[in-house]
Amino acid sequence: MDINFKLSDDSVMFDWLVDRLASGFNLDMVRSLFLQEFGTDISVDYLQSFYDKNLSRIELRNIDLKKMVYDSGVYSKLKLISDKLYDSLSSEDLSAKEVAQLSDTLRKYLETMISFSGHKIESSKSITNNFLVIESLEKEGLIKILDVSKTKYLLDGVCDG
What pLDDT was estimated at residue 145? 86
What pLDDT was estimated at residue 89? 60
What pLDDT was estimated at residue 86? 65
Boundary-marking domain end, from 50, 72, 94 = 72
Statement to judge: residues 117 and 62 lie in one domain: no
What pLDDT was estimated at residue 124? 41
Q: Is 145 exposed, middle or buried (0-12, 13-18, 19+ CB in 10 A)?
A: middle
What count of other Cβ atoms lies within 10 Å of the Cβ of residue 130?
16
Statement to judge: residues 124 and 64 lie in one domain: no
Statement to judge: residues 78 and 68 lie in one domain: no
Statement to judge: residues 59 and 84 lie in one domain: no
Per-residue pLDDT of the chain (161 residues; tens, 9 = 90+): 445 445 455 677 888 999 999 988 889 889 988 888 888 888 999 999 999 999 999 999 999 888 887 776 766 676 677 677 666 666 666 676 676 676 677 677 677 666 655 554 444 444 456 777 787 788 888 888 888 888 777 776 666 65
**Residue 78, domain extent:** 74-156
Statement to judge: residues 66 and 80 lie in one domain: no
List of residues 6+ apart from 152 with CB closer than 8 A: 131, 158, 159, 160
What pLDDT was estimated at residue 20? 92
Statement to judge: residues 101 and 126 lie in one domain: yes
Boundary-marking domain end, from 24, 41, 72 = 72
Q: Are 136 and 96 in contact (CB under 8 A)?
A: yes
Contacts 24+ apart (CB under 8 A), 61-67: 61/18, 61/19, 61/22, 62/22, 62/23, 62/24, 64/22, 65/19, 65/22, 65/23
- DSSP secondary structure, 66-113, as one string: HHHHHHHSHHHHHHHHHHHHHHHHT-TTS-HHHHHHHHHHHHHHHHHH
The answer to whether residue 1 sits within a structural domain is no
- Count of domains observed in the chain: 2
